[in-house]
Structure 1
Amino acid sequence: MTMTATYGDGTTRASAPVRSAARYDEETVRLFVIAAMFWGVAAFLAGTYIAFQLAFPSLNLGLEYTSFGRLRPLHTSAAIFAFGGNVLIGTSFHVVQR
């Protein structure tokens, strides 16, 4: 698209072509934010549960799969890799296209 200007003496001149506004893909960033929120809440809940297990050992329910030693790596992996990874990649997609 080219802009034109009309001056007071009736002459018209064309200016340099005007570029249209850049369009950014926000859908990908939005999906990473949703995934990060999900994994952040999941990591928070796992951390809260294992913290209560330290205070109240009866919450172990007598199962070996719900013990503190089995759930702590789940909590830290979810917080670091799932939540942190989605935040990092989503932020990268947001920044790189600008």
Structure 2
Amino acid sequence: MRRPNTFSHFGIVVPDVEKAESRIGDAGGRIVNRVGKEVDISDDALANAYGLRVEAIGELDEGELEAVVEAFNGDRKTGAIQSAFAEDPDGNLVEVQPMCVE
């Protein structure tokens, strides 16, 4: 985070995440991770959003790292892959979640 002692991110729930991504882009927002794209926990912003210290990720052995990645991306119906992440103009990370998971 650029500003310590703040929330790592906040979330909103929307009827259609892909439409929200489009509107965010049209308004000049930056999409950090699109819905359906696997969450890259080596990305500092995304790791921080989930409370994973980047230093800790580097200390995981291969099996532990695979387990973390599976937890985030393994279940395409309920995992983090159902959400998108965007950055607002102030650099705050926003998680955009679906109202209903298919």
Q: TM-score range by the shorter chain?
A: under 0.3
Q: Which has the higher strand share?
A: 2
- The two structures have a TM-score, normalised by structure 2, of 0.25
- The two structures have a TM-score, normalised by structure 1, of 0.25
Q: Which structure is higher in RCO with an 8 Å CA cutoff and minimum separation 6?
A: 2
Q: Which has the higher helix share?
A: 1
